[in-house]
Structure 1
Amino acid sequence: MSFSFFVLTAAPPVIGVLLGYLCGGRLSGFRTVRIRALWLVWLAAAVQFTQYFAPGVRHFVEDTAGIPMLAPVFAIVFVWLGVNLWHWPTAIRLAGVAIVLGAAMNALVIGLNGRMPYDPATSVAVGNAPDREGPKNAPADSGTRLAALGDVIPVPVVRKVASPGDVLISGGIIALVVLVMRRGRPAEEQPDEKPLTRGGAQ
């Protein structure tokens, strides 16, 4: 499992839940925001899972359609966000826009290069080989397009390299979870007594 898969699926929601509780939020906040077409999220996760654990399917799709396997994942996520975005409160909508922008940045650089390019020097800085290739990644070179949108941000803790799009996606997911959880905060207690009027209690 790659760092990108971990970032997009596991860490941000968990961090968001922890921060949501620290901010006084509750998971019940998710009941206040209608989430449409949730099956699209599961479909995107299934396609992503297939990319990693069913290489035969991945090669068939990429060879037949001529597009990276990540393309349908991003397309499904875009559709799901498009269905939901305009029905959410403004703050939550902005978090969704950050996710869309990050995914679009990743999709653009992958679409232009076939795979996500990574900076060899940054890869060496976190303890990895400068020329390792995989189904999703390849080292950037002079022919790489929009290399700055590739994996150029070192993450030494896990010895991986992330892209600016990954950062936006992760930050957007964390913000979205926190904002939704805060909508589940208990209502503040109202004082039982009415304030006195200028002429005294009535």
Structure 2
Amino acid sequence: MVAMSLRFAIVIAAPPLAGVALGYLSGGRISGLRTIPVRALWLVWLAAAAQFAQYYVPGLHRAAMLAVVFGVVLIWLAVNLPRWPVAARIAGVLIVLGASLNGVAIALNGRMPYDARAAAGAGTPKNVPANERTRAAILGDTIPLVPLHALISPGDILIGGGACAFVVIAMRRSERRSHDRDPVLAPHHAGALHPGHAGPVAVHRRGTVRAGRLNP
């Protein structure tokens, strides 16, 4: 159980960590994560708690808990997505799509199906093996991660890709904002920065006043 939990944590933590590495390699900064507003973070923790209870608390109806998890996540996205830049929204949609694919596989079969042959190659059978009665088996855990002795699903790939992209996008936004704050002096504004030299607005006003004096 401890080994399985460790592998699960690695699979979950790897995409955002990869995003941090790619963000730095592309010139971004970790401070960029603060440029994308995130509200109602407690809803994410609530969804995580419901997901944990679904597997580790006996007597709970898994379909009902799955509905709770998706409902909470959708509420959180409805609160946050409109405030995010377009690229971050796309990354968020990828995460939602991946979670939805996983949810469909679980809802249709009661548990997440896995490919027994892939599990043998990865060395870690889990959940319920797929058979001829399994519905949407392709959405289950069919992709082996042999070095980690784990299986992931197509939905997990979308979730991981979206999480990685979100981190990179946020870190790159920090770099763009720093460039936007750099002072850029246009030639026609340079005169306003030198003492004793009138800027274009002042020159225009004096010209208007002189023209008014010459025209009775």
- Structure 1: gaps (5+ residues): 196-202
Percent of aligned pairs sharing the same letter: 51
Structure with greater Cα Rg: 2
The 3-state SS of whatever aligns with 1:34 is coil
Number of residue pairs aligned between Structure 1 and Structure 2: 182
Does the C-alpha gap of structure 1 residues 82 and 4 become closer, same or farther in structure 2, counting only changes over 3 Å? farther
The 3-state SS of whatever aligns with 1:161 is strand
Q: Which residue of 1 aligns with 2:103?
A: 107
Say whether the 8 Å CA contact 1:119–1:150 is kept in structure 2: yes
Q: Which residue of 1 aligns with 2:46?
A: 43
Q: Which residue of 2 aligns with 1:21?
A: 24
Post-superposition shift, 1:191? 6.3
Say whether the 8 Å CA contact 2:116–2:130 is kept in structure 1: yes
Out of 104, 107, 116, which is 1:120 matched to?
116
Q: CA-to-partner distance for each residue in 1:39-61, whole Å, 9 max, x for gaps?
A: 11121222334445xx3xx2222
Instruction: Quote the Cα distance in structure 2 between the aligned partners of 1:5 and 1:89.
Output: 29
Alignment of 1:161 with 2:151, yes or no, is yes
Structure 1 residues 132-151: aligned runs within 5 Å: 132-133=125-126, 137-151=127-141
- Structure 2: gaps (5+ residues): 189-216
Alignment RMSD:
2.5
* Higher fraction of helix: 2
Alignment of 1:88 with 2:84, yes or no, is yes
- TM-score for both structures, normalised by structure 2: 0.74
Q: Which residue of 2 aligns with 1:7?
A: 11
Instruction: Quote the Cα distance in structure 1 between the aligned partners of 2:72 and 2:10.
Output: 18
Does the C-alpha gap of structure 1 residues 114 and 101 become closer, same or farther in structure 2, counting only changes over 3 Å? same
Q: Which residue of 2 aligns with 1:187?
A: 179
Q: Which has the higher contact order (CA 8 A, sep 6+)?
A: 1
- TM-score for both structures, normalised by structure 1: 0.79
Does the C-alpha gap of structure 1 residues 42 and 70 become closer, same or farther in structure 2, counting only changes over 3 Å? same
Amino acid at match of 1:60: G
Does the C-alpha gap of structure 1 residues 141 and 3 become closer, same or farther in structure 2, counting only changes over 3 Å? farther
Alignment of 1:61 with 2:60, yes or no, is yes
Where does structure 1 differ by over 6 angstroms across 4 or more consecutive aligned residues? none
Amino acid at match of 2:38: I
Deviates further, 31-40 or 172-181: 31-40
